[in-house]
Chains A and B, each alone.
Chain A
Amino acid sequence: MIKAVMVINTQGKPRLAKFYDFLTVDKQQELIRSVFGVLCSRAENVSNFMEADSIFGPDSRLVYKHYATLYFVFVFDTCENELAVLDLIQVFVETLDKCFRNVCELDIVFNYSKLHTILDEIVFGGQVLETSSAEIMKAVEEISKLEASSNSITLVPKTVSGWRNR
């Protein structure tokens, strides 16, 4: 099972963090920091795999891939295959690329919710759900279309009390 997906930029700022088991905000920050600490200490031209027992508990492994200014990190247990997860990152990035046409860090920052939409199509509840970027794109586009069509400008009562009275 996949335990976490992170996108961290080369300065250590998280751009996306999704944990498939609940963790407190502080714990999440700690993990992101320690993952970044380990990643930036790794040399070029080494393997993309790491044992992450000391960070995520026994039997945890980590696969990362470095694209321009971003690290894409998947953390998972022994039930996954490292090389396959590496390709999963590839699928994720390929999809982002199709979605944003030459994806860069800014796209990811400003399209935070879309990033999540894409990731939710790939990994669902910690399991790999879909690995074809064309299929993922289809699903994401369908969602976007529907969201756009339902998006005529209206005003919504926004107070909590207003909602409670309904």
Chain B
Amino acid sequence: MTLVIPLFRAREVTSMAEESEDTCAANKAGGVTKMQKTSDMEEREVGPWIEVKVLFFARARELTGLTDISLLMPPQSTARDCMSKLLNNFPKLEEIYNSMVLALNEEYVPESTVLRNRDELAIIPPISGG
């Protein structure tokens, strides 16, 4: 089912968009506030949101307190979009942002890489092994 996502604008809700039970649960699980359809808002049909699993290692684990997290992202989101969301939720990640690299599905990738549903994104801080 195509999910209609309105652009951000403060408007009174006039109607609720129908949604599947799975989509509602997924949105809740991902901690994302579902946007509601209103007659005054611009709308664009963008397709279903995607679920991305993010892995934290080393300093990233210390800064977030987590080993991993699942994010619900808009379709066509990039790794950079994902990082923006993570920085918003975990501002302390700023400490390693300029020195870390990203890996997508076990391969190093640039931030411009477009994400797909069920992708696994790893935050890789500076290495200190051996």
A binds B: no
